[in-house]
């Protein structure tokens, strides 16, 4: 599933190509793509036709486009999107043939490139939602409870470190808790823990403040490094708005490297089953808790 860097790459593409454009027509080609819209396809298309998109925003793995001008709706609404396992938001020339798994198409009044939501597995989706009152970011109400992420300028490092150490859980579970810190998924959790030399089952209550601060620093560093090369792509399903893959998979230190030597000490990386997923770690650098 795309994590923060991959979603941020898409957000930047939307900010460049979609911000300020007015929707002329919305075509829903698969009902599952807008299943969270209470009124279904008719309501979704009616709310967006004639609307102008504001600058693309993101919290964790969620994207949204505030509706700065939305006709009969007035203000206070945004279109929210989640990519799920295989969702893609592509900016395409209208002459480009439809993708096999095209689910929703947006045409604009300027007649230029259209926005397409493509989703092979249909786990992602789009919806128009009300936003938090008096929120300058236009955050949709359904995700207002999600914590800010490490790349958010308003992320509170001290509050996160205190909350992390106060939890009665293990460190990887905490990193994946979207009410504590958002945008961190399985890949970047493993990478951050490897850099911080922490085992995934380390109890958060045993972390010193410097250890918690170091973990946060590494989480931020690994996400910025992934952003610099367009995110992590293991197959053709994750791409940016221009259909291009990311290349951070070539620089991963732990995730997906079972049996390969640790880049620090040479010990073979291990994989362990964890919460219906996998955790990759170095058994020497990341000692298991007693």
Binding residues for DNA: 101, 121, 167
64 has which bridge partners?
Answer: 57, 80
Task: Locate the DSSP E strands across the chain.
Answer: 23-28, 52-53, 57-59, 62-69, 77-82, 87-92, 102-108, 114-119, 125-130, 270-274, 277-281
Burial 241-280 (b: 16+ CB within 10 A, else e): beeebbebbeebbbbebeeeebeeeeeebbbeebeeeebb
d(CA 20, CA 81): 18
* DSSP H or E segment with residue 156: none
d(CA 254, CA 274): 15
Q: Which residues are catalytic?
A: 2-3, 61, 277
Structure tokens, 230: 């367009």
């Amino acid at each position: 599933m795309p994590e923060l860097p991959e979603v941020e790459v898409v957000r930047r593409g939307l900010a460049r190509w979609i911000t300020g454009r007015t929707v002329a027509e919305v075509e829903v080609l698969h009902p599952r793509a807008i299943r969270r819209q209470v009124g279904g396809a008719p309501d979704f298309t009616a709310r967006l036709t004639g609307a102008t998109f504001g600058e693309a925003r993101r919290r964790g793995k969620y994207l949204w486009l505030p509706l700065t001008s939305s006709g009969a709706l007035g203000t206070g609404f945004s279109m929210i999107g989640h990519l799920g396992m295989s969702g893609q938001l592509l900016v395409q020339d209208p002459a480009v043939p439809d993708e096999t798994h095209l689910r929703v198409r947006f045409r604009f009044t300027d007649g230029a490139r259209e926005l397409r939501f493509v989703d092979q597995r249909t786990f992602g989706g789009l919806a128009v939602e009300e936003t938090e009152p008096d929120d300058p970011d236009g955050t949709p109400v359904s995700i207002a409870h999600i914590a800010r992420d490490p790349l958010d300028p308003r992320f509170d490092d001290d509050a996160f470190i205190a909350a992390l150490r106060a939890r009665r859980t293990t460190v990887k579970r905490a990193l994946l808790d979207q009410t504590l810190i958002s945008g961190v998924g399985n890949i970047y959790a493993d990478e951050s823990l490897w850099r911080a030399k922490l085992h995934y089952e380390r109890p958060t209550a045993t972390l010193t403040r410097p250890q918690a601060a170091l973990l946060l620093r590494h989480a931020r560093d690994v996400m910025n490094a992934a952003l610099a090369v367009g995110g992590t792509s293991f197959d053709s399903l994750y791409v940016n708005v221009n259909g291009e893959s990311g290349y951070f998979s070539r620089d991963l230190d732990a995730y997906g490297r079972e049996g390969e030597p640790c880049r620090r000490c040479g010990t073979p990386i291990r994989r362990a089953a964890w919460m219906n997923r996998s955790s990759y770690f170095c058994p020497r650098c990341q000692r298991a808790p007693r």
